[in-house]
Each structure stands twice: as C-alpha cells, then as structure tokens.
Amino acid sequence: TFDVSAPWLNRVVERKPRQFVHAVDGVSFAIERGRTLALVGESGCGKSTVARLLVGLYEPTRGEVRFDGRPTREVLASREGRALRRRMQMIFQDPYASLNPRWKVEDIIAEPLREHGLLKDATARRQRVGELLQSVGLSPADAGKYPHQFSGGQRQRISIARALATQPEFLVCDEPTSALDVSVQAQVLNLMKDLQRERQLTYLFISHNLAVVHHVADEVGVMYLGRLVELAPKRELFARPQHPYTRMLLDAIPDIRMTGRARTPVQGEVPNPLDPPGGCAFHPRCPHANGRCARERPPLQALRGVQVACHAVEEGRI
Ligand code: SF4
C-alpha cells in the first residue's frame, strides 16, 4: 500500500522571536493512495505546518514522516531525493502571489520540468505544457500569455498545471480555493476531484472552510492548537461529530448538517499558542469542561468508531 503517514509526529517547533511554539504536537495520521485527507481548524492551529512537514519544507524535531513506507527525511537526503520531490508537489493558497508576474505561462508550468531535468527537448516540453493546460480546462494557446491576463480561478488552474508537470502522486493543497470567489471555488474543487480520479492522486487538503472540506474529503482531521482532536471518515464526522470543538465548528454551518437549527457562531477565541492552556487546550471554550479537563490532556483514542481526544466522550458525558 501507498501511504503518507506521520506516525509519532511530535513536537514540531517553530521559532518565534526569543520564544518557541509547539506548532504541531503528537499529530499522527496516514493517507491511503487515491484518497483525500482534509485538515481543518481555525488559523494558527498548525495545519499549514503539517502540510509543509509532509513535503519536507520543515523537519520535525521528533517523530517522522513516511512516504510509501519510507522516512522522507532519509530519502530526501539520499540520491533518490530528487525523484521523491517529483512525486510530491504543493498547491498554495494565493494564485496571485505564487505565479511570477513577469513569466509567461509556458515558463511557469515548465519550471518544475527544468528544475528536475525532465523533457530537455523544447518541442516536447512545449507539447507537455499544452497538454497540462488542457487538462486543467485552459487552452494550449494560453501558454504565451502572462498571469495578469487571467482571472483568479484561471490562475489557480495554472498553479495546478504547474504542480502536475512532474506527474506527482501526492499533492498538498494549502487552502487552494480560499482566495477565490465562491462560484469559482466549486469549479476549481471539481477540477481537482476530476484530476484525482484520472490520475489516482492522493491529496492532503488544508482548509478552514468546512463546506469545502465536505466537498472534497474522504477523511477529516480536526486540529486545535497544534493537536488533532478528532480524526474520522467524512460522513461520520458530519453526521455524528464527537469532539465539542468539531460540534462547535459544524454548528456554525447548519446547512451542511441539515439539522434545521439556527447557525451558532463559533464561540470564544483561540488562545495564544505561546501560552496554551493546561489540560485539554480547548477547556476555556468548552461547554462540557470539568476539573479533569483543566488538569489532564486527553489522548487521541479510538472511541465510538472514530479517533477523538475528549474526556467527556470517553466518560460518556456527551
Ligand atoms: Fe471539553 Fe473536556 Fe472534552 Fe476538552 S476534554 S473537549 S474540555 S469535555
């Protein structure tokens, strides 16, 4: 089996001026080939750190990331490192910032090919660029244009074409549609799903938007202050959310759960990650918190058929 997993991915530390933050702590999950795991949570929860860890842009201070069963750190440092980099690509949030405005589209899409020494013949490279543009719903004639000649959605299609240039198997998508208008978001998400089916792609999808997650994910991981608090198949998570934080996020968008209840805005603020609360980090915002919650950090464990980190679920209080 193909697997991108992060067992015991502990204590990723990000440097802040004179202080350290445990940006990700004890996060562990696996993604099967051809599937989409979405990581969701408010900003600052560590989901983008996990994304960068998986493609080797950050290194964990403890734990490891495995790709296809092998530790990525080891492989990236070896002679096979380049081949591994080709197999993993990243799509970023902002198609305006991630495309060089002075380059033609053909140069932007061909950049990874040049970087990896692939398709050195100019004609073959041009042909590949044309095919990639077609595969994302653009025209080969667009190759000679510049990014400013395209709409936001089209620019994100160009980013996707660039990410596909090396024929990767695994794509990390960091909020790829959040800078786009809602109507355009659906088109880009549908394109990504089509490409996944055609090319057997595996996605790690980062989003703060549960409607987007509902559209794309097979499995969902909910993160809070650097930790996974719930990990479940999408259907299960949306039908029967267990963790109070997951419930709070879902109650803010009742149209997805179709409960008919009024939307309840997310309560409270995310605490300062430099000074996280003891015990369960969610306890200052949790309507079910008790003394144990303030003292003991709940482990992520198998409960009610999903993975969840909550004393109240374990005790059957909720
Ligand atoms: Fe709420 Fe306690 Fe569960 Fe944390 S452990 S989510 S504070 S009930």
> Residue 293: CB within 6 Å of ligand 1?
yes
Average pLDDT of the chain, as a whole number: 87
CA of 304 to the centre of ligand 1 (A): 16
pLDDT digits (tens, 9 = 90+) for 20-70: 555 567 778 889 889 999 999 888 788 888 888 888 888 887 788 888 888
pLDDT, mean of residues 262-287: 85
Beta strand pairing status for 227-233 and 219-224? antiparallel
Contact 213, 40 (CB under 8 A): yes
Return the HEC string of 227-260.
EEEEEEEHHHHHHCCCCHHHHHHHHCCHHHHCCC
> Residue 225: CB within 6 Å of ligand 1?
no
pLDDT digits (tens, 9 = 90+) for 195-210: 999 999 999 999 989 9
Structure token pair of residue 105: 């589209």
- 31 forms beta bridges with 4
> Residue 282: CB within 6 Å of ligand 1?
yes
Write the single-letter amino acid at 142. D
CA of 21 to the centre of ligand 1 (A): 22
pLDDT at 91 over 70: yes
Contact 48, 273 (CB under 8 A): no
> Residue 289: CB within 6 Å of ligand 1?
yes
CA of 307 to the centre of ligand 1 (A): 14
Beta strand pairing status for 88-91 and 170-174? parallel
pLDDT confidence of residue 114: 92
CA of 141 to the centre of ligand 1 (A): 56
Least confident of 41-55, 69-83, 169-183, 261-275: 261-275
pLDDT, mean of residues 287-301: 96
Contact 54, 121 (CB under 8 A): no
Contact 172, 192 (CB under 8 A): no
Q: Can you spell out the DSSP letters for 140-202? A: GGGGGS-GGGS-HHHHHHHHHHHHHTT--SEEEEESTTTTS-HHHHHHHHHHHHHHHHHHT-E
Contact 152, 96 (CB under 8 A): yes
Q: Look at residues 93, 102, 212, 95 and name the one whose alpha carbon lies nearest to residue 152.
A: 95
pLDDT, mean of residues 188-192: 96
pLDDT confidence of residue 15: 47
Contact 125, 113 (CB under 8 A): yes
283 CA: nearest ligand 1 atom: 7
280 CA: nearest ligand 1 atom: 4
| CA distances to 86, 105, 106, 256 from 114, in Å | 12, 14, 12, 44
Pocket-testing residue among 249, 288, 292, 315, ligand 1, by greatest number of atoms within 8 A of Cβ:
288
281 CA: nearest ligand 1 atom: 4
Question: Which residue has 């073959």 as its token pair?
Answer: 124
pLDDT digits (tens, 9 = 90+) for 237-273: 999 999 999 999 998 885 655 556 667 777 788 887 7
292 CA: nearest ligand 1 atom: 2
CA of 194 to the centre of ligand 1 (A): 39
ipTM of the complex: 1.00
pLDDT, mean of residues 280-294: 96
Dihedral sign computed on CA atoms, order 282, 288, 292, 294: positive
> Residue 283: CB within 6 Å of ligand 1?
yes
pLDDT, mean of residues 136-163: 96
Contact 194, 134 (CB under 8 A): no
Minimum CA distance residue for ligand 1 atom 3: 310
Write the single-letter amino acid at 125. R
Structure token pair of residue 283: 């306890």
CA distance 66 to 48: 18
CA of 300 to the centre of ligand 1 (A): 12
Least confident of 46-50, 128-132, 145-149: 46-50
Count of beta carbons in the 10 Å neighbourhood of residue 159? 25
CA of 243 to the centre of ligand 1 (A): 8
pLDDT confidence of residue 191: 97
Q: What is the dihedral of CA 156, 159, 165, 166, to 10 degrees?
A: -120
Pocket-testing residue among 222, 293, 307, ligand 1, by greatest number of atoms within 8 A of Cβ:
293
Q: How many residues make up the chain in this entry?
A: 318
CA distance 254 to 261: 6
pLDDT confidence of residue 260: 63
Beta strand pairing status for 306-308 and 227-233? antiparallel
